[in-house]
Amino acid sequence: MNKPLEGKVVIVTGAGGGVGEGIARLAASRGAHVVVNDLGGSTTGEGSDAGPAQRVADEIKAEGGSAIANTQSVATWNSAHEIIQQALDTFGRIDAVVNNAGVLRDVMFHKMSEQDWDIVRAVNLDGPFYMARAAAPHFKAQESGCFVHLTSTSGLVGNMAQANYSAAKMGVVGLSKSIAIDMAKFNVRSNCIAPFAFTRMVGTIPANDERNRQRLEVAKRMTPEKIAPLAVGLMLDEAKDVTGQVFGSRMNEVMLFSLNRPIRTAQTSEGWTPESIVSHAIPAMRPSFYPLDRSSDVFTWDPF
């Protein structure tokens, strides 16, 4: 088998199952030394368990690959630096960081607690920042490196009862683009993937109405290992000029998402007043308004 990642070191967070496990396994099969990071907590962020990360690392090694387990949280500055340091101490370098770890606390916005907000932000947004920031000086010094951040259509499009998750995942898009801009001169690239896959977190969606039941049935057909080829492909040297992009992976589909750009403008030589905004500017732009779509309203075709 081709080993394009031979000798490279890859950290995958949240790799004790689901999408992260698929990425870790595929990277190892292509020759990478893999740090399998997973706190082993619940889907809502409670508790810890060393078992998931250790199982994946052991299975990778049993298949002839190279891997170690790491069970630290990505959600603090110090622990993120310790994850990076373990990779350096064990394998001597670091070449790619996949920010996949995540938690959900779905609740309608008017009922969302401070804790619901804080824990989802800490894992889903602070975590990618801490991990990327800890790796950045090493990438800069070696003048190479790859970040792959997992975002979500919950942020890119929208979903009900996910203000915390949606905000964090859109924050990841801005973080990735800023990293790509700031570190381009050091040959460091940063991209996002919005994955469509049935995982432990997606399985927490309650089947309490027909819409959610249909959503779950479609999701169950989208296996998490289908995300791995895109994530690992972005690590390859042949993709070294790909940066600042947002991709999607949905079964056998790979997609490129647009980034925010102006789509309509309105001008007046007299300058605007509040009254002329509502009488002229908004009516001119209204045909281009987006409806209150959710992810399932946009991705209406069956995965294939």
Q: Say whether 130 is catalytic.
A: no
Distances (CA, A) of 100 to 16, 200, 298: 11, 13, 23
What pTM value is reported for the model? Answer: 0.92
Biggest CA–CA distance in the chain, Å, is 73
* Helix 127-142 with 77-91: angle, nearest 10 deg: 40
- pLDDT surpassing 80 at residue 211: no
Is residue 202's pLDDT more than 80? no
Mean pLDDT value of segment 110-129: 98
Whole-number Å distance between alpha carbons of 141 and 118: 33
Q: How high is the mean pLDDT of the chain?
A: 93
The 3-state DSSP class for residue 10 equals: strand
Catalytic hit among 117, 130, 165, 198: 165
Backbone angles phi, psi at 40, to 5 degrees: 80, 25
The upper half-sphere exposure of residue 284, i.e. CA atoms within 13 Å in the direction of its Cβ, equals 12
Return the pLDDT at 240.
97
Confidence of residue 129 (pLDDT cuts 50, 70, 90): very high
pLDDT band for 198, please (50, 70, 90 cuts): low
- In tens, the pLDDT along 178-196 reads 999 999 999 999 999 999 9
pLDDT in tens, 250-290: 999 999 999 999 999 999 999 999 999 999 999 999 999 99
Could you give all domains of the chain from N- to C-terminal order, each with its CATH number?
A: 9-259 (3.40.50.720)
Quick one: what percent of the chain has pLDDT higher than 70? 92
